[in-house]
């Protein structure tokens, strides 16, 4: 592998440097020729009046139609020359003119001294378009997580743009970074019969913003284009040997053995096998590997598949055929504009698809959570039905979907049947986990162990000497069969306004049952004392999970969620929202008698300013697994799933929090703006969020502002300030904390699109008080008292750079050094985020982007990270051990990470 990597790296780095493309030689030749002609014309100017300046020859391969008409030929002959070049081929020599019927030898002799033929490269339209928008394709191809599936759709529209004069409101709105106000401006202009004929024409549409027009331009045409290519194939391969995240490492390494008066110490090999990490020897877990293929015929017939092997799992191609089919994803689709009683647009997809409607309260199926997802800018949603071969596994929909729309009406129907991973517990008390046991919840596992693997580990832990922790609850792969039927109906009475209804019913093959609180906390926490002491009010979010069987609702086998959404555009303001309910024991015809959620927002747009305000309120019992709307934190934040890994009956339950995709139950108001208030100063983004967490009524506030100063285009000075308080209304509460972060950065744009970034970050965290030891141990019976709050501070210095060797090869990288002292930092690394939460450390990384040929792209990222951390922590704060240290000694860790991505487009 190392030799292969080194050889591949050498090929990608060296070949683009020395192998100049024919295009580059052509450009250099043309530049030299122009310079030669200029110099030659200067030499031909005599030093007396009345001098004759010889004109340059007209290049037949680059001349416009008007320029060709200026030659001493007829209009018919000029049009024939232009058509030959446009529809047939470029001129290889001047004698190719004789292939045109209207050009005889006399005309050719007359044109010889007046025209020339430059070098050319015969490219198809797709190759030329890839050249023009390479930077956009590169950016979309590297997207992961939330926008992974949407990027495929946007890339298709980049390669085969559609006629903006025929697109519906939702078609344009689904393009990246386009607001409903921009779309309404376009549709209103078309409604009065004014056709948009160019980008300049688009830009001057009344009501459209500069950024809206700019973001649309690469995805559309302005008139029907001749079809020069019909078939498109995209293949992508990704290799990633990144280690597990720190929180997942703690989960896997945490011991599953709870001793009960053991008189003898186990041997070292046994100690190593007390956790899932040691039992499965996860130190040697293999890297992840993804293979994705998409095939498209025009913009009508589409097909694709993905084979993803997550970190540590068995290679998908080594599984039997049934498992390959279950663990892979695929789709076949057809999209067509139909002329039937007016213009109609039809989509039909079979296989895996993504369904998103409104603000994401009822349906948006993805495994990935995004905080503060507004639906604007880079948090865009593509509403409706699109194909899905992303890495989403748990909440994937597999079946058939139909999406039909016309200018004022949209109807969607979808049907899905799939198996889901779930948390199963011993509900029948037979001492084992089997198919008759009930389900607690869905779960997205960091590593998808097979049931045989999990059962073997659980048997080993249960039989371990002096272990009182018998595993009664565990995740299981494909434990739940889910069948969904759903739909969406939307009507638009006039431009910019719509009201829609969405709903789905999920039917299950086994019951979701959440035990009563007393039983639940002892099920999740093995130690009876811990179960009573550590179960907090925030754990109400676990107790509020949905049950299909209870005293209130009886026994059912389904979950129903329904709601309605709306939007209206008034001048330069767009108002939208969604309301949804989870059916429990109320009536479908009565609003407010079931667990509910609502979100309403208003977006106002000016040329240099936008302002977004948003209100949301989600009930604690609104447990919709496909809910993905705006929130500050994900579900199960601050519950035992996050805070009590070491005491859980099964440490793998921590994945309930780590990989939660649902928003937390909360109520709050959010404001966001961007404002360029002078030529030199821009508030690039500022937001304020004030919210209350429903589980414990904790109130929080978060503010962040970014300011950019641009004295000249090549230099930017950037400042950022973040302030966050949790439990701001009670200074004496243990849960109160405050974090502040300051950042100053300098950005320098150099020649050839190179740039350098220098930055410094300083952060402080005011930690809450903890009950750790007696305040006065000498005094008998002295009560426990909270220690004073502690202030932690840390800082980070970073240098980032981008260097373009030529248009086919560039490298992006950075260096950073930090001192944590209880403060953590988020660091954006080109295509991914890294969370630096260790005491101190440094890292460097670089990402080489190589365009090996016009349709072959390679990205190689290497990162080295070295830091100090605590491998284990002693967590019984109130029990000081008789011997040994209070904590394990800090250890140094080193990480070498390699990511490789190959894209082949033809």
Centroid of chain to Cα 828: 13
Q: How confident is the model at residue 131, as a pLDDT?
A: 60
Taking the C-alpha atoms of residue 441 and residue 436, their distance in angstroms, rounded to an integer, is 15
Q: Which residues pair with 246 in a beta bridge?
A: none
**Radius of gyration over alpha carbons of the chain, in Å?**
32
In this model, does residue 115 exceed pLDDT 80? yes
Range of lowest pLDDT (14-23, 88-97, 228-237, 417-426): 14-23
Paired residues of 597 in beta bridges: 580, 618
Top pLDDT among 334 and 1 is at 334
Q: CB burial class (10 A; 0-12, 13-18, 19+) of residue 592?
A: exposed
- What's the pLDDT at 870? 52
d(CA 568, CA 571) in angstroms, rounded, equals: 10
| Residue-by-residue DSSP string for 261-309 | S-SSPPPHHHHHTSSHHHHTTGGGPPPEEEEEEEEEETTTEEEEEEEEE
pLDDT at residue number 35: 41
Fold of 2-123: DNA polymerase; domain 1 (1.10.150)
pLDDT tens, 650-703?
A: 999 999 999 999 999 999 999 999 999 998 999 999 999 999 999 999 999 999
Contact 5, 898 (CB under 8 A): yes
pLDDT in tens, 786-826: 455 677 888 999 999 999 998 889 999 999 998 877 788 88
Helix/strand/coil for 820? coil
Residue 151 pLDDT level (bands cut at 50, 70, 90): confident
Structure tokens at 821: 């002292």
**Would you say residue 147 has pLDDT above 80?**
no
Q: CA 403, CA 208: separation in Å to the nearest integer?
A: 28
Whether residue 107 has pLDDT greater than 80: yes
Residue 221 has a pLDDT of 87
Name the DSSP class of 378: G
CB of 175 closer than 8 Å to CB of 215: yes
Domain range summary for the chain, segments of one domain joined by +? 2-123
Q: What is the DSSP secondary-structure string of 705-771?
A: EEEEEEEETTEEEEEEEEEEEESTT-TT-TT-EEEEEEEEEEEEE-GGG-EEEEEEEEEEEEEPP--
Q: Which residue has the higher pLDDT, 258 or 456?
A: 456
pLDDT at residue 303, as a whole number: 96
Res 162: pLDDT: 87
pLDDT band at 578 (very low <50, low <70, confident <90, very high): very high
Nearest to 194 by CA among 164, 233, 232, 169: 164
**Is the pLDDT assigned to residue 419 strictly greater than 60?**
yes
Beta carbons within 8 Å of 261's beta carbon, 6+ residues apart: 466
Predicted confidence band of residue 204 (pLDDT cuts 50, 70, 90) = confident
Closest CA to 848 of 3, 4, 144, 15: 15
**What 3-state class would DSSP assign to 783?**
coil
Q: Residues 54-90, buried b or exposed e (16+ Cβ, 10 A)?
A: eeebbbbeebeeeebbebebeeebbebbbebbeeeeb
- Choose between 381 and 141: higher pLDDT: 381
Instruction: Name the least confident of 28-32, 436-440, 462-466, 728-732.
Output: 28-32
Residue 247 has pLDDT above 60, yes or no: yes
Mean pLDDT estimate for the chain: 83
Angle between helices 148-159 and 134-141 (to 10 degrees): 160
Mean pLDDT for 698-717 is: 94
502: nearest Cα among 360, 346, 370: 360
Band the pLDDT of 132: cuts 50, 70, 90: low
Please tell me the predicted confidence (pLDDT) of residue 138.
66
Distances in whole angstroms, Cα of residue 615 to Cα of each of 82, 371, 611, 695: 58, 15, 14, 18
Which distant-in-sequence residues (6+ apart) come within 8 Å of 457 by Cβ? 256, 276, 279, 280, 449
583-601 pLDDT, tens digit each: 998 888 888 899 999 999 9
d(CA 549, CA 546): 9
Report the relative pairing of strands 397-406 and 409-425 from DSSP bridges.
antiparallel
CB atoms within 10 A of CB 29: 12
> H or E stretch including 502?
strand 497-508
Tokens of 805: 């060797």
The pLDDT of 184-197, averaged and rounded, is: 90
C-alpha angle 508/514/518, rounded to 5°? 170
Return all residues near 353 (Cβ < 8 A) that are at least 6 apart.
Answer: 331, 333, 385, 386, 387, 388, 397, 399, 401, 414
Highest mean pLDDT among 26-30, 206-210, 411-415, 723-727: 411-415
Q: Model confidence at 471, in pLDDT bands (50, 70, 90)?
A: very high
User: Across the chain, which distance is largest between two alpha carbons, in Å?
Assistant: 119
pLDDT at site 808: 87
Q: Which pLDDT score is estimated for 826?
A: 80
Given pLDDT bands bounded at 50, 70 and 90, which one contains residue 24?
Answer: very low
Mean pLDDT throughout 260-264? 47
The answer to whether the CB of 205 falls within 8 A of the CB of 185 is yes
Predicted confidence at residue 271, as pLDDT, reads 56
HSE toward the beta carbon, residue 428, CA cutoff 13 A: 9
Is pLDDT at 193 greater than 80 in this prediction? yes
* pLDDT for 263: 39
Of 118-132, 705-719, 788-802, least confident by mean pLDDT is 118-132
Question: 146-184 burial, b if ≥16 CB within 10 A, otherwise e?
Answer: bbbbbbbbbbbbbbbbbebbebbbbbbbbbbebbbbbbb
Query: Do 871 and 204 contact (CB within 8 A), yes or no?
Result: no
Angle at 669 between CA 665 and CA 671, to 5 degrees: 135
| Mean pLDDT value of segment 564-589 | 93
Residue 735's pLDDT is 67
pLDDT exceeds cutoff 50 at 859: yes
Q: Does residue 257 have a pLDDT over 50?
A: yes
Residue 211: its pLDDT value, please? Answer: 87
Q: Which two tokens stand for residue 554?
A: 């009886």
Residue 828's DSSP bridge partners are 833
Tell me the mean pLDDT in the region 312-316.
84
Is the pLDDT at 144 greater than 70? The verdict is no
pTM of the model: 0.82
Q: Has residue 57 got a pLDDT over 80?
A: yes
Tens-place pLDDT, residues 474-531: 999 999 999 999 999 999 999 999 999 999 999 999 999 999 999 999 999 988 888 9
Distance CA(209)–CA(202), nearest Å, equals 10
Which comes out higher in pLDDT, residue 63 or 361? 361
**Distances, alpha carbon 701 to alpha carbons 425, 698, 764, 791, in Å:** 38, 10, 16, 19
Q: Kindly state the helix (H) or strand (E) to which residue 418 belongs, with its residue range.
A: strand 409-425
Q: Are 28 and 85 in contact (CB under 8 A)?
A: no
Distance in angstroms (rounded) separating the CA atoms of residues 595 and 873 = 40
Average pLDDT estimate for 118-127: 58
DSSP label at 590? S
Percent of the chain with pLDDT over 70: 82
The angle subtended at Cα 185 by Cα 181 and Cα 186, nearest 5°, is 120
198: confidence class by pLDDT, cuts 50, 70, 90: confident
Q: Return d(Cα 781, Cα 151) in angstroms, integer.
A: 64
Question: What is the reported pLDDT for 21?
Answer: 42
The continuous run of DSSP H or E covering 600 comes out as strand 596-605
- Structure tokens that stand for 475 in this block: 């995740």
Residue 778 has pLDDT above 80, yes or no: no
Residues 51-70 have a mean pLDDT of 73
Mean pLDDT confidence for 386-404 = 95
Q: Does residue 25 carry a pLDDT above 80?
A: no
């Amino acid at each position: 592998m190392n030799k292969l990597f080194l050889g591949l790296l050498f090929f990608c780095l060296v070949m683009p440097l020395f192998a100049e493309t024919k295009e580059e030689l052509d450009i250099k030749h043309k530049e030299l020729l122009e310079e030669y002609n200029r110099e030659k014309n200067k030499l031909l100017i005599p030093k007396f009046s009345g001098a004759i300046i010889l004109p340059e020859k007209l290049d037949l391969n680059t001349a416009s139609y008007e320029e060709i008409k200026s030659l001493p030929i007829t209009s018919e002959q000029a049009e024939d020359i232009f058509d030959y070049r446009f529809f047939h081929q470029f001129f290889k020599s001047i004698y190719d003119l004789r292939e045109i019927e209207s050009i005889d030898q006399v005309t050719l002799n007359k044109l010889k001294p007046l025209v020339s033929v430059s070098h050319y490269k015969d490219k198809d339209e797709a190759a030329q378009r890839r050249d023009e928008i390479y930077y956009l394709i590169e950016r979309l191809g590297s997207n992961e997580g939330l926008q992974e599936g949407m990027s495929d759709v946007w890339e298709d529209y980049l390669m085969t743009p559609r006629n903006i004069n025929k697109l519906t409101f939702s078609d344009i709105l689904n393009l990246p970074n386009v607001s409903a106000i921009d779309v309404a401006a376009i549709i209103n202009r078309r409604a009065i019969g004014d056709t948009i004929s160019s980008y300049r024409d688009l830009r001057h549409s009344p009501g459209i913003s500069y950024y809206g027009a700019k973001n649309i331009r690469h995805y559309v045409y302005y008139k029907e284009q001749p079809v020069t290519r019909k078939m498109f194939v995209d293949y992508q391969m990704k290799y990633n040997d990144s280690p597990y995240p720190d929180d997942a490492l703690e989960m896997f390494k945490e011991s599953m053995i709870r001793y009960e008066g053991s008189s003898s110490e186990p041997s070292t090999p046994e100690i190593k096998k007390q956790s899932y990490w040691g039992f499965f020897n996860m130190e040697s877990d293999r890297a992840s590997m993804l293979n994705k293929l998409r095939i498209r015929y025009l913009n009508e017939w589409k097909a694709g598949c993905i084979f993803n092997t997550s970190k540590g799992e068995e290679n998908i191609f080594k599984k039997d055929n049934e498992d390959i089919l279950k663990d892979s994803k695929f789709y076949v689709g057809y999209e067509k504009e139909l002329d039937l009683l007016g213009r109609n647009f039809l989509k039909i997809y079979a296989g895996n698809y993504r369904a998103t409607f409104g603000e994401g309260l009822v349906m948006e199926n993805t495994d990935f959570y995004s905080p503060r997802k507004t639906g604007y800018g880079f948090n865009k949603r593509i509403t409706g039905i699109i194909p899905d071969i992303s890495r989403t596994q748990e909440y994937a929909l597999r079946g058939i979907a139909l999406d039909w729309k016309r200018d004022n009406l949209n109807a969607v129907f979808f049907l899905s049947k799939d198996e889901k991973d779930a948390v199963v517990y011993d509900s029948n008390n037979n001492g084992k986990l089997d198919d008759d046991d009930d389900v607690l919840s869905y779960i997205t596992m960091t590593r998808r162990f097979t049931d045989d693997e999990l059962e073997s580990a659980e048997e080993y832990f249960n039989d371990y000497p002096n272990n009182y922790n018998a595993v009664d609850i565990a995740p299981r792969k494909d434990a739940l069969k889910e069948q969904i039927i759903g739909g969406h109906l939307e009507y638009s009475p006039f431009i910019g306004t719509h009201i829609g209804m969405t709903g789905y019913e999920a039917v299950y093959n086994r019951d979701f049952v959440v035990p009563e609180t007393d039983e639940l906390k002892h099920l999740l926490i093995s130690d009876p004392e811990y179960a009573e002491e550590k179960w907090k009010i925030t754990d109400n979010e676990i107790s509020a999970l949905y049950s299909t069987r209870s005293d209130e609702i009886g026994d059912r086998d389904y979950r129903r969620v329904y709601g309605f959404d709306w939007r209206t555009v008034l001048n330069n303001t767009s108002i939208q929202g969604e309301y949804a309910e989870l059916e429990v024991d109320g009536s479908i015809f009565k609003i407010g008698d079931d667990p509910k959620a609502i979100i309403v927002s208003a977006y106002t747009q000016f040329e240099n300013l936008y302002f977004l305000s948003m209100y949301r309120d989600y009930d604690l019992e609104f447990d919709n697994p496909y809910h993905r709307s705006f929130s500050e934190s994900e579900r199960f934040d601050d519950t035992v799933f996050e805070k009590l890994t070491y005491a859980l009956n099964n440490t793998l339950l921590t994945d309930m929090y780590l990989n939660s995709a649902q928003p937390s139950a909360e109520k709050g108001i959010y404001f966001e703006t961007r404002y360029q208030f002078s030529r030199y100063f821009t508030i690039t983004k500022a937001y304020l969020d004030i919210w209350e967490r429903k589980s414990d009524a904790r109130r929080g506030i978060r503010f962040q502002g970014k300011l950019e100063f641009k004295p000249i285009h090549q230099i930017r000075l950037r400042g950022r300030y973040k302030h966050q308080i949790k439990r701001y209304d009670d200074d004496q509460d243990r849960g109160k904390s405050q974090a502040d972060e300051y950042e100053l950065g300098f950005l320098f744009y150099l020649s050839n699109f190179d740039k350098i970034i220098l930055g410094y970050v300083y952060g402080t965290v005011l930690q809450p008080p903890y009950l750790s030891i007696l305040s006065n141990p000498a005094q008998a019976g002295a009560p426990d008292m909270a220690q004073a709050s502690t202030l932690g501070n840390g800082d980070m210095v970073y240098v980032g750079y981008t260097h373009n060797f030529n248009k086919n090869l560039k490298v992006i990288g950075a260096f950073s050094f930090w001192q944590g002292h209880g403060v953590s930092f988020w660091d954006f690394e080109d295509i991914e985020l890294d969370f630096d939460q260790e005491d101190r450390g440094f890292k460097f990384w670089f990402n080489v982007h190589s365009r090996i040929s016009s349709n072959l792209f390679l990205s190689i990222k290497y990162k080295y990270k070295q830091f100090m951390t605590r491998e284990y922590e002693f967590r019984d704060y109130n029990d000081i051990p008789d011997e040994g240290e209070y904590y394990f000694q800090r250890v140094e860790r080193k990480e070498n990470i390699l990511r490789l991505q190959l894209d082949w487009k033809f």
